[in-house]
Structures are given as structure tokens and as C-alpha cells.
Amino acid sequence: MTTEDTINIRTATDDDWDAVALLDAHAFGEHQNSEDLAETQILTSSEHVVMAWDGSTPVGVAMHFPMSVTVPGGEQVDASGVSWVSVAPTHRRRGILRRMFTEQHRKLDAAGAPLSLLTASEATIYRRFGYGPATEEHAIVLDRRFAQFHKSVPPVTGVRLIESTEASTLLPEIYHRWQCKTAGAQPKPPIRWQRFFADRENRRHGLTELFFIAHADGYVAYRRSPTESKVVVQEFIAVTDQAYAEMWQVLAGIDLVDTIEVSQAPDEALPFLLTNNRLPKITGLHDALWCRIMDVKAALEARTYGVDAQFVLEVEDPFLDAGGTFDVTISAGAATVTRTEAAPDAKVGLDVLSSMYFGTHRATRFAAASRLWTRDPEALHTVDIAFATDRASVMGWAF
């Protein structure tokens, strides 16, 4: 079915927020309370919300939050955080999502932010719009009763237990220092800090209110289960390796707890802080941040690179017009990107380039999956090492 004759796509007005909340509740199975909805309206505005209507009935919504994100090398790049995307179950398979996204992304393109970001409830939706997964997280369960740290791990000297009031003054500054050095992380808006420390019942998922431990260069916010012998970590932020090691020793020392549950990047040091590196069990693997490069030149010139290199990259964008053929010349870590008519050394879809952009996903992996073509192995090696980073990227906060 098509939507051309029956569905109207338009920018929302201030009178449409009840309809937005209704669609969100049906899509994600959670009614927004008045506080949550008010916070969302602070993060964005009606002009950043696109809606689909069937007559007077709301049937689709997509919005974005203006934000920025750290890219490899530490540059803060403007981005659009796409969120609250849904189509009513009464109107599926009618092309409504594509029409909303087309309208929304034309606006994003005109606004000029080089990157668009989102978090995906399903992995099969957004690639056709040029998005690719940019970060990965491991769900880890650690049986802390058997956790022994090897003798070279620095002792705990700088960790304190703190209350929420003190945490509200300390944590934002620590997070800011971490975010500025961590590719994939976004600044956390003041309203999200307010939500975090308000610690409302609907955010606890049956667990206790938040507990906090703090280091000068890190913090952990966690909850305990009233029915199970476990700790569930909500945020683990470490600016330095020493803070990371000290805070893990404190977490593993919590009495009356058997297990600790945490999500972390796949290259975290935890297994090798322990005498038994098998003790942390990976119970899940999921993507977090997805990225679409809106402006290839601006995006590639914003990040840094580990090697000097030169290659011609052909980028296919099946959704908008960000694609083309680009000469990428890297010197002293910085890229100069220009459009060219030269024959490509590599061909790639925009979704794959967007996945490679933050460094977590390697060109060799996509080549092995037949999703990246290069003229020869040398060209593949050049592209691979150019986009590689020392650490995996990490998303800052879920939007």
C-alpha cells in the first residue's frame, strides 16, 4: 500500500505532544509520565518533530535532539540525535517511516550537522537509510565472590562512598572529562542529569535507589536487587586506568552480593585485572550507538587517523545524496577530503563507512562479509589501518 493519498507528513506543533506520547507508549510499551514528557520537550522542540497523520489520527512520529559527539581524536562534532521513531501498528508496511525519514533528514541535511545518531530497537531497520552500528557493548556478569585481582593491580587509595547530594555536584564534571576523550560519547544535558539524580521509581525496574562510589577520576552508580543477591551497574565512568582498577576492586568487595551485572565496551581491561580472566561471563552482545554520516567531507576531516595514507573512496548513499567519490589524503593525523573523478581504491555503502567512522568496526571485517570492495589487499590494508583506533568507541547516554 502507498501513503500518498491518505497520509499527511508534517512538522509537529505544541498541541501535538499528547499524540506523540500516545504513539511512543504503543511502540515501546511504556507510558511517559508527565516528568519524562516535560524533560523531552526541554531536550527538543516541536519544530524538530515530524509526524504522520491519517486524517485526524496520528500514525507516526520521528524527532531529533540537537547534540554533539566526540569523534576519534577528541573533536566535538555537531550531530542530530534521532529518537522516538515509531509507526502505529495499524499502519505498518505503507511506506510511512520512509516518508517521515525523508522529510526529517532533508531538514537535518539543511541544518548542516555532519553526523546523525540514533539507538535502534531493531537491527534491521536503519541500514537502508545509511545508518550503521558504531559502538558495541558486552553484557557482563561477574561472580564477585571468586574475584581475585593480580598482585600488580594498584591498591585502592582514592575511592569513597558518597550520597546522592554529593554525587550531583561531582559526577557531571567527571563525566565531562571522560566524554571529551571518549569517541562516541555525547555531552549529557543538564535535564538528563536532573532525571538521573531524581531517581524516580519508574526508572528503577524493581531495583533499589542508586548507590554511588567516587574517585577523583571516575564514578560508579549502581543498584541492588531486593530479591536477588546482585548489583546492577547503571554507569561506570573511568577517566583513567587507575580509577577503573580501583573502582572495580571496591565493587568486587561489596558484601552480601554474589554477582555484579554491567555493560561495557568489548576491550575493557576487567578480565586481565583478575587472576582468572574467564571469571567475567559475557551474557550478551548488543550495539548501542548508530551513526549516519550526513556530510562525508566534513565528517572525515573532523576525526584524526593513525597513519599517513592516500586512497580514493567511492561511497554509495541509497537514501539521500551524501555519496560520491572522494580523494582522502591523510597527513600528520588529519585528512583532506575532496571530490574526484579518479578510479576508486575502495567502494563502500554509507552505512558501512558510518560504522567504520568511530573505529570500533574494522574495514577488514566488512570486506570479509562482502560489504566493502577494494582493488587489492594493499588498498584494504591502507583503509583498515587508517580508520582503526586504539580504543573501542563508547556511547555516552541513551536518547
**Whether 54 contacts 203, CB under 8 Å:** no
Establish whether 126 is a catalytic residue: yes
Mean of pLDDT values over 174-183: 98
Whether domain 294-387 has CATH 3.30.1050.10: the reply is yes
Least Cα distance to 7 among 75, 66, 64, 92 occurs for 92
Indicate whether 165 pLDDT > 80: yes
Q: Is 122 annotated as a binding residue?
A: yes
Indicate whether 387 pLDDT > 90: yes
Specify the residue for cell string 569513597.
160
Could you read off the pLDDT of 54-105 as tens digits, one per residue? 999 999 999 999 999 999 999 999 999 999 999 999 999 999 999 999 999 9
Indicate whether 2 pLDDT > 70: no
Set 65, 126, 131, 326: catalytic member: 126
Q: What is the CA radius of gyration of the chain?
A: 22
Provide, rounded to the nearest whole percent, the portion of the chain with pLDDT above 90: 96
Q: Is 225 annotated as a binding residue?
A: no
Q: Is 383 annotated as a binding residue?
A: no
Set 305, 319, 326, 399: catalytic member: 399
Domain chopping of the chain, boundaries: 3-113, 137-286, 294-387
Is 294-387 in the same CATH topology as 137-286? no
Least Cα distance to 119 among 289, 273, 274 occurs for 289
Whole-number pLDDT of residue 4: 60
Could you read off the pLDDT of 310-339 as tens digits, one per residue? 999 999 999 999 999 999 999 999 999 999
User: pLDDT band for position 376 (50/70/90)?
Assistant: very high
Q: Any idea which architecture 137-286 has in CATH?
A: 3-Layer(aba) Sandwich (3.40)
**Whether 332 contacts 308, CB under 8 Å:** yes
CATH of domain 3-113: 3.40.630.30
* Alpha helices, H only, the chain: 17-28, 34-43, 96-111, 164-181, 190-198, 241-251, 270-273, 296-302, 350-357, 363-368, 377-387
Indicate whether 1 pLDDT > 50: no
Q: Is 218 annotated as a binding residue?
A: no
Could you read off the pLDDT of 289-307 as tens digits, one per residue? 999 999 999 999 999 999 9
Q: Is 263 annotated as a binding residue?
A: no
Q: Is 121 annotated as a binding residue?
A: yes
Could you read off the pLDDT of 120-142 as tens digits, one per residue? 999 999 999 999 999 999 999 99
Indicate whether 3 pLDDT > 60: no
Indicate whether 286 pLDDT > 60: yes
Q: Which residues lie closer than 8 Å to 105 by C-beta, 6 or more apart?
A: 116, 129, 294, 319, 320
Mean of pLDDT values over 253-280: 97
Whole-number pLDDT of residue 325: 98
Q: What's the rounded Cα separation, in Å, for the pair 352 and 363?
A: 9
